[in-house]
Every structure is written in C-alpha cells, then in structure tokens.
Structure 1
C-alpha cells in the first residue's frame, strides 16, 4: 500500500509551511485536473476538513490548519458542486494518511510508515455539475470468505450493474469481506467494474482482531480505503459515514458491540455545525441502530446521544446492513427521537444474501435468499433536494419484482381451509397498504403479520426432505419476516384456475403489483 500513499502525496503537492503541531494546506479548484495547484488556480473558501475529531473551514484563500497527531488521517469533506479525483480502482481520493511510524505489527498488514509530514497537505477539487435530483447505489455486506465467494459477488451482483449510467457514486455498508482481510484487494477489483466512484465503510468482519484498542481495529481497512469516519456532500444531501463497531466490546473485552467512541462523537458534532439545517443528513453505518428481538446489539446511550446531535435537522435517514435481512425502523419520542416526525432507519438487504447459501442458479451462483424471505440484492437511493425514496432491486430479477406471493396450488371446492395467500413485500413495513383480489373482483385488505415466510420455509426444508444431495449449501433456518401479509383464499368459486392479484403501496406512495393463481377442484371423497 505504500505505493498508494506516495501517489497521494504527489497529487496533494507541497506549497506552504505549517507549524510543527499543526497540519496545514490549501483546498483549491483544480481546473486542469492535474492534481496540482497551478498558476491561476484559486483556493476555495469555506470547505470543511477534518482530522477525525476536529473540523475546520478553509479561509478566503482556501487555506486551513488542523491539530496534528502521530496517528491521523486528514480528509476533505467534499462540498456540493465539486468532485474529488479517484484512483485506478475508482476509490475517491479525499484523504491523506499521516502515520510516521506506520501501523503496529498485525496479522493483516496496515499502513506502511508515511514519514515526515509534508509542509502542505493540499486537496484538489474539480468543478462538477451536480444535480439535486440524483440516485446513489448501495450494497449491503458483500462478505466473501473465499475467492470463490468474491466471484459469486462479482458475477451475481456487480456484473448486473457494470457500466451503470446516471448514478454518480456507490457505497458499500460494511462487511466488505469475511474476516480474511487479504480479500480486500479482490473485493476492490470486483467493485471497480461497476465503473463509478465507490465509497466504503467498516464492518465487524473487516476489522483487525489482534488488537487491544478499538482505535487500532481499522488499520488494514485504512491502508486500503482511508478513514473509517468521513463525510461528503452531494446536492442538498450530507453523507456521514461512520464506523459503529466497538472492538473489543468495552463491557468484557470480547467480541464487538454497536456504538461510537468519544472522538467519533466529537467528529459528528463538529461536522454537523457546518451542515445547513434544511439539508438531508444521511448517516451510513454497519450495525443497525435498532435492536431486533430485544438483543442488546447497540449501546443505548450512544443512540440517544446521536439523536441529540440530530435534533435540529428535520430531514434525516440512516442506513445499515449487518443482519442479512431487510427491515424498516421508525424511531419516535419513545425511542429517544426528539422531533415530531419519526426518524427512518433502513436496514438494507445484502448482496451476499444468506451468506451465499441455497440452490445454485443457471449461472452456478447461490440464490442466497435471506432468512426473512428477502432475495439478495441492492438498493437505489433516489434524492430530490432534501427528500428521498428507495428502490430495492432483487439480483437477477426485473425491477418490478418487489413481492413474493405464496398460495396453495389447489384447494377443494366448498371446503373451509386454513391455507392462505401470503405476500412478502420486500420493502414493506407495518402500516403499508397491501390489497388482493381474485378474478378482477373486489379489492380486499390483507392482514399484516410477523411470521415465517412460507415460500422461504419451503425452500429451506427441501434440503432436509431430499434423498439426494443438491449442489450448494443449505440455507439458514427461517426467522419471522417483518414484511409479510396474509389473505384468506376463497374455495366457494367455480372449479378451475383463478387469478390472484396483489397491489401494495409502499411508504413513499409507490404502487407495486404482483400476481399468482390457484386451482379449485372437486373434493375427493
């Protein structure tokens, strides 16, 4: 990684003198895009920069100063209307690593010694025509444990969006790999093929486990991706990317816990001071703020403190992955949210799905449906000013595939049955309206329920009922889905085939349709 760091120094250049206990430099408008501040190129004022704790703004000449330490990353918080250069792997170059002595000796290497601090750490910003109406692409948990699983990710997910247009950047929500940090480079090479600038964040499977302090758990991540906590702007949206994995767990020194260190809270607070209150703040993290099934996965006081810092921002969204399910959470006053409108936290379905399990598809890639019945896939975040909506895209399926319908194949005419029509509405949440009708009849409400998705149950237990081994690996046992609806199935119609139609309206007002059929037959006495 030393080659990468040296290249970064060359791009930043050396232009002015800084005090020994300060890092200093200039943020400038790079008109000719050569990474150097040439004659005629001017500094840019009021651009935010951070050392991971303090945040400062450039002066009228584009100059800044930040406190210096022996283990520090200086990063520019990209303002709207500009872009930063990207390296050959499409990773945005918005930071400078200062580790004179390098990372500690670790199982997976970290940053090589960076040597003496340059007299000036300068950042080039390139003018860019940014629209307030834009879409970003989000991956949850690629999490390959082997090169074969990197290939599954590349062939089953990346290939589908390779060369995508009108999407200015993408973001992976952690667990970029599965504990083997030597897979960072294969992961980077895979995501490079999407062809757009790609941001990343740290997950619990991306950390250095052979450390005693949380501040050192991201050394290998830093060597490949830069700071684990950073921010950038696009249009009227402020993105705040955070490492919320506390390792080792401060309670017992074992495992990990969701939450933030004090220096991270100082960064968040200092960063938000420079964000207009009418902008949308999007927080991206790995471990969700919610705690499914009452398990203590996130430090409560940290969530409350984060909500305190966001109390004056009426437009917010937070993102996570980690759980390998898809879930919508809404935090209100009872959960510590300090505004009238609840805060939306979206736990995104994963690109690895159920950890690359399940039957193999026609391309010999595991179908990997998640335990709540959500197929593996990725999300598009659509922004319009400070408003947003979300589309979940199931890998390998048309964009309009937003529901899985389960119904019996045949029922006996005139006989009561406990069978039903089940709809797994992947982006759904309690309160959404899901309707069904039979044969163009009257639309009826379906009942929301938290239950096992029968279509996933059928898929899993096929592995246990078969008498011959199948290619691939058995899927995980089902868990109760939080986006499942049920309707009664009529048996008093004429014998023959009957059409089922489903109409679901999501939280953004988008209407989605699906269909299925069943058959009514004369009962066998």
Structure 2
C-alpha cells in the first residue's frame, strides 16, 4: 500500500523535478510523464477519466490531463464518456496510445458527439471466433460477419458496438488480420478481450504473454461508458509459464485499478463486465464434481463479486463453447455460445447451441437480449428432437432451449391439448452427441466432445404420429414455438 501511494504521489511532481532513473528489467522506467487533452471539435472536455491502468485522473476544465506513468504501464487510455462515438480504426476500437519507455509524452483524444445521444444503444458479444486456419477465417469473414451486420441493421438507428470476448484466434497470430477484416465487415466498432488462445505461449510470465495482443488491440483491461451503463473489460486468463497452461485469475493490479474505477460509478448503477473465462458456471455440478477446473472459472471471483456488490451487474464471458445463463443476488452472467460453434467443425456447439452471438439492447439502466444464431431468424431459439433421441428419456420428445434461464417458461401441447411445463434434465444434446462423440469425430479436431447441459427439456411419453408443440417464453415475454411429429 505504501508503494502504491508513493507511485500515485509521483503524479503530482513535474517531469522536470524528477531525477533520471534507470530502466527496470522489463524495459520500463519511472521517469515517464504523460500529458494531453480530451476534446470534442476543439473544445476541451472536463472530468473525463484518463488512466494508465494503475491510476486514474480527471481532465481539467480545459480537457487537459497529466499523470506520471506507472513503471509497468504499457498504454494510456481515455475512459470514454457517454454520448460520444467510439474512436476506431476500421472497426477496431482505438481509445488508447502506447506509452514510450522514457520522457514526456503527449497523447490527445478527440471525441465526436453522438447525435441524439446513446441513452438507448445496443451491443453484440462475439464469443470465441477462434480461427485456426484460412478456411475458418473465410467462414468468419464471409458468413458470420455479414450475419452480424444484418443483425445490427435490424436494430435500426441505435448506436451499436461489439465486444470480441476472447480467443479471437486459435494461437495463430497471423490470423489477427482476418479477425480485423471480419470486424470491419460488421460495420460497428469492436472492443477486444484477451483469451487463452490470444497469448504468447513462449512468454516467461503472464505479463509478457500479453505483448502481441497489446500491439494489436491495446490494453487488456479498461472501462468505458455508454448511456447510463458503465462497461468494464478485464483480463482473467493468467498464463503460468508453460504452453497452453493457464488459470482463471484476476491480478491484484487489475483489482486495484477496478477499485479506483468503480469509485466513479454511483451505487445502484448497471455495470457490464466482459472477460473471457467465465467467473462461474454450473459445469462442476452437472459433472458431479466438487469444484471446477482452475482453467474453467475464475479462482478469485469472490473478490470481484465483493467489489461489484453495490451495482446491478451483467457479466459477459466465453471460453466454454456452450451457452449458459445464471443469476444470483445482484449478478447475472451470460456465458456465450460461440461464433465458431465447436471450433468450426459442425453446426452446433458442444451443448447443441447453434453458432452465434449475443445481441443486447439497452434503455436506461435495463438490458434485454437474445441469442442470435448465424444464418437463422431472431426467433430461432429452440430445437426439437423426436422421441427416442435420448435413451434415458424413453418415448419423450426433447427440446433444447439454449438461451434458457430460470425466468423462462417452457411448456408443451399434445395434439392441441395443453400439457403444462416440460421437465428439465441434464444430458447431452442428441445432435452434438451424434457429431462429436467418439475418438474419430469430428475429422478436423478429434478432441471436440459434446458437453452436459441443463437447457434440455423432456415431454412425458408420447406415441408415434402424435403432434407435439413446444412454446418457450423468455423473461421479456417473447414467445418462441416449434412443433414436431413424434
């Protein structure tokens, strides 16, 4: 704590009064002064946050700021205020500037106001685009991105942005350019989250594993504002110094910065946190294990939850290649099915969820959402399977309602007669099981497997030739319906 306060105090000292200090082993120095101006159409913007990832300062009345960069800081960035467009380069958000290794550096940030404001806005969450080769990249650029562009158009005149929720590529950094092409096709600015397949696997520490990502996309944790919502992006993939070995963990540096960041957010506000590894899932319970694997959820999530307690919180995550929503106390986590499905090997994720992405609309402090399946209409929210498709549910028609949460209603009709609620159960989606179960399936990535899910539902026993209708009503009252002949 004393060292942190000392470093904060350095920000009050002019660059000229500081002695020339030696570089640290990582190449950073103590004597780096940052200054600049946040402005719009030439006029300075007051009380806008500017940060180096360790401290946050407010701009003065004329929009100017000055801070002494932390020795480990890599970027200076503006905490974008509500009501302004997201600066970007062909869709990649550019709200930051790299920090030089020594001397005084000027970094100005020019912002453009949004006509009509952004109290109402929308955002898209891409979970795990995870392109591994040019064939994957072609699918992303020519199929998924145009599909996203169409979903954006369906939102009308709302300001829209995107979040690439990690694993943008599958360890092939030369494909970052293809990811960028896909973002450009969507026509909206995207913020990026670092995933475990976006890290330098030959690095000796977690800090150094982020270097290529930072060169491409800037800082790995930051925040911004849209309308009444405060958005936070975190890096929860902690590289432990061995290729493909990591844990879900948020460093003290991030938590300390987040503590300062949230001091600027009034209690009761809605905060949206995006990270790659989910903070929690129900997978351990489904697998009847005592706890999740370290790389499956965030080990120190309790510290994050404690910080977020004063707020209404939505967490956006990826990583798992299944779709799951859970809600407890003030937090709801949306663990997204993936754009790549099961690593571009078939038409569903491991839980039977179609390849797709989250679409979120915001009005004031409230969010509404749906899961958008690539190549499907927005009302494609469930799939039915004939009786006998799940041996453990003999003679039952099965429904997979992939964006289900406990506020949904899932009901069924038999030959026109209302039969009440379907019974949820934990199991394997029949299509995912057919496509991915077995040591020779699928051909491209034989390690892909179906996963247990809790968004399956079974009717009572039915007879051949009967007509079954399943109606699923989401928490916002939207009704989705499918039918099948047993």
TM-score calculated relative to the size of structure 2 = 0.84
| Match of residue 407, structure 1, among 386, 401, 405 | 386
- 2:413 paired residue number: 437
Distance 1:301 1:261 in 2: 11
- State how 1:323-338 maps to structure 2 within 5 Å: 323-331=320-328
- 1:148 paired residue number: 135
| Match of residue 288, structure 1, among 275, 278, 300 | 278
- 2:359 paired residue number: 380
Structure 1 residues 399 and 463: CA distance shift in structure 2, 3 A: farther
Structure 1 residues 222 and 488: CA distance shift in structure 2, 3 A: same
What's the offset of the Cα at 1:301?
Answer: 6.0
What whole-Å deviation, never above 9, does each CA across 1:2-31 have from its counterpart, x for those lacking one?
xxxxxxxxxxxxxxx955645343433332
Structure 1 residues 43 and 431: CA distance shift in structure 2, 3 A: closer
Distance 1:383 1:300 in 2: 27
> How many matched pairs?
442
Q: Residue 256 of structure 2: SS of its match in structure 1? A: helix
- 2:170 paired residue number: 178
Q: What is the RMSD of the two structures over their aligned residues, measured on CA atoms?
A: 2.6
What whole-Å deviation, never above 9, does each CA across 1:288-321 have from its counterpart, x for those lacking one?
01153222326766211111111211x1100110
Compare 369-378 and 455-464 and name the one that shifted more.
455-464
Highest Rg: 1 or 2? Answer: 1
Distance 1:459 1:184 in 2: 29
What's the offset of the Cα at 1:51?
Answer: 0.5
- 2:111 paired residue number: 125
What's the offset of the Cα at 1:157?
Answer: 0.6
Structure 1 residues 444 and 455: CA distance shift in structure 2, 3 A: farther
- 2:6 paired residue number: none
Distance 1:215 1:30 in 2: 34
- The reply on whether 1:447 has 2:423 as its aligned counterpart is yes
Compare 503-512 and 237-246 and name the one that shifted more.
503-512
* Contact 1:449/1:486 (8 A) holds in 2: yes
| Match of residue 486, structure 1, among 458, 467, 485 | 458
TM-score calculated relative to the size of structure 1 = 0.78
| Match of residue 81, structure 2, among 79, 94, 101 | 79
* Contact 1:22/1:65 (8 A) holds in 2: no
Q: Residue 83 of structure 1: SS of its match in structure 2? A: coil
Distance 2:458 2:259 in 1: 45
Structure 1 residues 472 and 155: CA distance shift in structure 2, 3 A: farther
What whole-Å deviation, never above 9, does each CA across 1:472-501 have from its counterpart, x for those lacking one?
66683322112111011333xxx8x43221
- 1:390 paired residue number: 369
Distance 1:117 1:185 in 2: 32
* Contact 2:35/2:107 (8 A) holds in 1: yes
* Contact 2:83/2:227 (8 A) holds in 1: yes
Q: Residue 502 of structure 1: SS of its match in structure 2? A: strand
Gaps of 5+ in 2: 1-13, 19-30, 285-290
Q: Residue 127 of structure 1: SS of its match in structure 2? A: coil
What whole-Å deviation, never above 9, does each CA across 1:216-249 have from its counterpart, x for those lacking one?
1111011111111111100011110111111117
Compare 70-79 and 430-439 and name the one that shifted more.
430-439
Distance 2:323 2:140 in 1: 18
* Contact 1:430/1:448 (8 A) holds in 2: no
Distance 1:124 1:199 in 2: 18
What whole-Å deviation, never above 9, does each CA across 1:138-176 have from its counterpart, x for those lacking one?
100001111221112222311212363345211110000
* Contact 2:54/2:70 (8 A) holds in 1: no
Distance 1:138 1:253 in 2: 27
- The reply on whether 1:424 has 2:400 as its aligned counterpart is yes
Structure 1 residues 439 and 378: CA distance shift in structure 2, 3 A: same
- 2:27 paired residue number: none
- 2:124 paired residue number: 137
- 2:473 paired residue number: 505
- The reply on whether 1:68 has 2:76 as its aligned counterpart is no
Distance 1:272 1:150 in 2: 37
Gaps of 5+ in 1: 1-16, 32-40, 101-114, 332-340, 359-366, 411-416, 519-525
- State how 1:209-358 maps to structure 2 within 5 Å: 209-248=201-240, 255-291=245-281, 292-293=283-284, 294-297=291-294, 302-313=300-311, 315-331=312-328, 341-358=329-346
